């Protein structure tokens, strides 16, 4: 249990310090996106309420801007295929 708590806190700090997405955190810690998501949305609230509130704000911002980021990536993909 102690190992999981440490992992959850490390993930949270990584996301806060780097404004990282769940995918980026998962890649950095070499674990699945599902594990990071569960750690951040369920476990963190029970472990550290303060970090949870900070993460909630970051995740909310990512959710609001994901359509823009996705659109840019798609645009660049097709632009590179044309050249």
Domain ranges of the chain: 2-82
User: What does the block give as tokens for 62?
Assistant: 């990512």
Largest CA distance in the chain: 52
Q: Among 14-23, 39-48, 72-81, which is the least confidently predicted range? A: 72-81
Q: Distance of CA 37 to CAs 21, 22, 74, Å?
A: 10, 6, 24
Which residue's structure tokens are 């295929």? 81
- pLDDT score, position 30: 96
Spatial neighbors of 3 by CB under 8 A, at least 6 apart, are none
- pLDDT band at residue 62 under the 50/70/90 scheme: confident
Q: What count of other Cβ atoms lies within 10 Å of the Cβ of residue 37?
A: 15
- Please determine, for residue 64, whether its predicted confidence score (pLDDT) is greater than 90: no
Does the pTM of the predicted model rise above 0.85?
Answer: no
């Amino acid at each position: 249990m102690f190992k999981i708590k440490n992992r959850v806190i490390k993930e949270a700090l990584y996301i806060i310090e780097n404004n990282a997405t769940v995918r980026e955190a998962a890649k950095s810690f070499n674990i699945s996106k599902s594990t990071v998501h569960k750690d951040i949305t369920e476990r963190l609230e029970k472990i550290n309420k303060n970090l949870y509130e900070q993460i909630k704000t970051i995740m909310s911002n990512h959710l609001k801007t994901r359509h823009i980021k996705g659109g840019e990536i798609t645009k660049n993909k097709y632009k590179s295929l044309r050249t």
